[in-house]
Every structure is written in structure tokens, then in C-alpha cells.
């Protein structure tokens, strides 16, 4: 699935906007109206009598508008209609130049690619920092044939894999053993 860049703010105000009823009620909060609140109910009543309600709702559906009430529809209404009629779902996209925009929404712009590259570099560095071996190291004391004609020389370190110790290798202690105090004999 490829992400589609949706225009959030139109380049120009639509012609029908001058005839909208919401312009007569600037005291109503059309963007932050909580679903089920008195504010949202008042906004829906104004939208019901609006002469450009259908154009407003269609515009919000086409743009995938995630906020407020448009054409008498809140986010949940627009989400259901978008699913039913094939409009883009109302979502908030992360800003350009972020790893989330590149990974989750497939943005191919230069800032998003750069942010993703930076994230991957940092992730690999964190992974390398955690990959420090803390177990005993294997050191060869005699030559050992390791494959087609390859010979490991004495004194070389072996990779610490969970395999049986080869003949000719001995484990190097990690630290000095701690001596336990002797317990007195029971009488």
C-alpha cells in the first residue's frame, strides 16, 4: 500500500466557502468540538441548515480531514463514510523529515529519507553497543584446521559461538575466582 499525500490546507479558499453558515457563528469551535458535547451539537444544528453542507462534507472527505466538524460530520462519521465510499481515511500524518513518515506512510521525499537513514545509523550503533561479549574467550594453543585449507594459528581468539570447544583450544578465565571462607568443622 502506498501513501497518498493529502493536501491539508487548500491553496485557495473554495468558492462555496463564502456561502457557508459557519461563518455567521465564529463563537462556535468547529475544530476542537468534542463528540457528544453541547458545542458539537450546536455545530451540527448549524450545519443542518447550511446551504453548502454537501460541498463542505465532500471537501473534508476528499482531504481526509482528521479534525473538527465539517458538513455536519465529525471524525467518526467521516471515517465510516471514507471506508464505505473509498475516500482516504481521516488521519494525521507525521511531519516531513521524520522516520515515522518514511516507514509508516512511505514518503519518498529527501528529508524523510535522510531522517530514516539517520534513524537506521543510530539503531545499528545501539545494537553494536549491546553486542559486547561477556563470556569466556576461546584462545588457541595449537594450530587448528578450520575448513578448506584454513588454519587458525596459536594465540588467535575464536568467535564465541555456542559450539563444543575444538581440540587444542582452552578457555581463558573471565576473572579471578573468589575464594570462599572455610567453614568450621561440625563437632
**Tens digits of residue pLDDT in 119-170:** 999 988 888 777 666 666 667 777 777 677 677 777 777 666 555 666 666 6
Asked if residues 109 and 89 have their Cβ atoms less than 8 Å apart, the reply is: no
Q: What is the pLDDT of residue 185?
A: 55
Q: How many CA atoms lie within 13 A of 1 on its CB side?
A: 6
Give SS3 for 20: coil
Q: What is the pLDDT of residue 84?
A: 93
Q: What is the pLDDT of residue 80?
A: 93
**pLDDT band for position 55 (cuts 50, 70, 90):** very high
- Whether 187 has a pLDDT exceeding 70, the answer reads no
Q: What is the pLDDT of residue 16?
A: 87
- Percent share of the chain, pLDDT over 90: 24
pLDDT, average across residues 34-55 = 91
Q: What does the CA dihedral 149, 153, 158, 163 come to, rounded to 10 degrees? A: 50
- Whether 53 has a pLDDT exceeding 90, the answer reads yes
Q: What is the pLDDT of residue 36?
A: 85
Q: How many CA atoms lie within 13 A of 134 on its CB side?
A: 3
Q: What is the pLDDT of residue 13?
A: 77
pLDDT, average across residues 96-103 = 85
Give the end-to-end CA distance of the chain in Å, rounded to a whole number.
80
CA distances from 180 to 71, 78, 115, 172, 183 (A): 80, 72, 54, 21, 9
Helix, strand, coil content of the chain in percent (nearest 5): 35, 5, 55
Q: For the chain, list the strands marked E by DSSP.
A: 138-140, 144-145, 151-152, 157-158, 169-171
- Whether 74 has a pLDDT exceeding 70, the answer reads yes
- 3-state SS record for 82-134: HHHHCCCCCCCCCCCCCHHHHHHHCCCCHHHHHHHHHHHHHHHHHHHHHCCCC
- Whether 178 has a pLDDT exceeding 70, the answer reads no
Residue 168, C-beta contacts closer than 8 angstroms, at least 6 positions apart: 140, 141, 142, 143, 144
The x, y and z cell numbers of residue 43, run together, are 455545530
pLDDT, average across residues 64-80 = 89
Q: What is the pLDDT of residue 30?
A: 84
Q: What is the pLDDT of residue 134?
A: 60
Amino acid at each position: 500500500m502506498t501513501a497518498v499525500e493529502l493536501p491539508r490546507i487548500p491553496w485557495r479558499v473554495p468558492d462555496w466557502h463564502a456561502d457557508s453558515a459557519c461563518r455567521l457563528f465564529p463563537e462556535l469551535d468547529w475544530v476542537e468540538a468534542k463528540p457528544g458535547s453541547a458545542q458539537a451539537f450546536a455545530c451540527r444544528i448549524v450545519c443542518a441548515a447550511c446551504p453548502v453542507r454537501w460541498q463542505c462534507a465532500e471537501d473534508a472527505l476528499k482531504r481526509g480531514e482528521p479534525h473538527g466538524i465539517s458538513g455536519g460530520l465529525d471524525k467518526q462519521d467521516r471515517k465510516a463514510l471514507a471506508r464505505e465510499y473509498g475516500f482516504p481515511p481521516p488521519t494525521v500524518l507525521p511531519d516531513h523529515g521524520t522516520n515515522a513518515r518514511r516507514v509508516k506512510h512511505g514518503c519518498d521525499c529527501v528529508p524523510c529519507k535522510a531522517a530514516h537513514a539517520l534513524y537506521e545509523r543510530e539503531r545499528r550503533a545501539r545494537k553494536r553497543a549491546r553486542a559486547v561479549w561477556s563470556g569466556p574467550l576461546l584462545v588457541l594453543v595449537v594450530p587448528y584446521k578450520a575448513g578448506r585449507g584454513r588454519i587458525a594459528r596459536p594465540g588467535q581468539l575464536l568467535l564465541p559461538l555456542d559450539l563444543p570447544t575444538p581440540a587444542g583450544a582452552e578457555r581463558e578465565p573471565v576473572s579471578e575466582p573468589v575464594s570462599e571462607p572455610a567453614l568450621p568443622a561440625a563437632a
